[in-house]
């Protein structure tokens, strides 16, 4: 998938999220050039800037008041339905159950995307003591939004801010990066620290093996 194939992906199953800046294909690092059509990321009237949390991507579908839970399959990038009692998803289901129990009202019928975080998820980088599903929308019960981000599209300002970013869930822990969420149509983009500085790279992609130096589009 490339940028041009993503036209109006309202919560597009999270197959791919691009950074708003173009990237050098050899190093994977962002360069000081905004990708065409992604200027909205830097407009506070059009986007939320959320913490990019490190958990288990989980979808909740509500129909006639009945909840169904779907876990993201990292190989296919799609979702698989989680059956009650499946031990492989024990902590994921605990997170969803705790979220539902914390609400005074049930969710309206619809599809909701979020992330399960907790003490047995992804080595618990936030030092949490329980499991909880966090809605990607920055409302009550959702992933928190930053307010002190640069109100500009200047590359160096964003680089400095992202590299110094602390988690909103646990201010003593470094944040992985941010997600830009379009307020109108749900489009999403991301900026991680390792997109500015390879010393933060935790992924297995070997950019050093790239044979051509180019810019992703």
Instruction: Give the Cα-Cα-Cα angle 95, 98, 99 (nearest 5 degrees).
Output: 85
**pLDDT mean over 46-57:** 93
- Tell me: do 114 and 159 sit in the same domain: no
Q: Looking at the domain assignment, is residue 161 inside a domain?
A: yes
Instruction: Tell me the backbone φ, ψ of residue 102, rounded to 5 degrees.
Output: -80, -10
This prediction's pTM: 0.78
- Tell me: do 45 and 111 sit in the same domain: no
**pLDDT mean over 7-36:** 78
Flag whether pLDDT at 30 surpasses 50. Answer: yes
Q: What is the pLDDT of residue 6?
A: 38
Q: Looking at the domain assignment, is residue 121 inside a domain?
A: yes
At 101-133, the pLDDT tens digits run 988 888 899 988 889 999 999 989 899 999 999
**pLDDT mean over 27-51:** 95
**pLDDT mean over 191-214:** 57
11 Cβ neighbours under 8 A, 6+ residues apart: 111, 113, 136, 186, 188
- Tell me: do 85 and 98 sit in the same domain: yes
Q: Which of 97, 118, 135 is the last residue of a domain?
A: 135
- Tell me: do 43 and 79 sit in the same domain: no
Flag whether pLDDT at 14 surpasses 80. Answer: no
- Tell me: do 122 and 104 sit in the same domain: yes
Q: Looking at the domain assignment, is residue 21 inside a domain?
A: no
Q: How many domains does the chain have?
A: 2
Domain that holds residue 79: 56-135
- Tell me: do 153 and 131 sit in the same domain: no
Helix, strand, coil % in the chain, rounded to nearest 5: 20, 30, 55
């Amino acid at each position: 998938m490339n940028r041009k194939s993503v036209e109006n992906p309202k919560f597009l199953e999270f197959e791919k999220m691009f950074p708003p800046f173009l990237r050098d294909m050899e190093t994977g690092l962002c360069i000081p050039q905004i990708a065409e059509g992604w200027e909205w990321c830097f407009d506070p009237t059009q986007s939320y800037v959320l913490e990019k949390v490190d958990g288990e991507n989980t979808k909740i579908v509500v129909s006639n008041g009945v909840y169904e839970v779907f876990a993201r399959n990292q190989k296919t990038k799609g979702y698989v339905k989680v059956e009650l009692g499946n031990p492989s998803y024990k902590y994921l289901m605990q997170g969803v159950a705790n979220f539902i129990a914390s609400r005074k009202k049930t969710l309206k019928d619809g599809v909701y995307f979020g992330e399960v975080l907790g003490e047995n998820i992804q080595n618990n980088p936030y030092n949490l003591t329980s499991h909880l599903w966090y809605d990607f929308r920055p409302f009550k019960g959702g992933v928190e939004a930053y307010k002190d981000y640069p109100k500009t599209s200047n590359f160096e300002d964003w680089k400095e801010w992202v590299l110094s970013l602390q988690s909103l869930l646990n201010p003593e822990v470094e944040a992985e990066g941010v997600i830009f969420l379009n307020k109108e149509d749900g489009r999403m983009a991301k900026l991680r620290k390792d997109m500015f500085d390879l010393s933060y790279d935790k992924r297995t992609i070997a950019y050093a093996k790239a044979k051509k130096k180019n810019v992703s589009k």
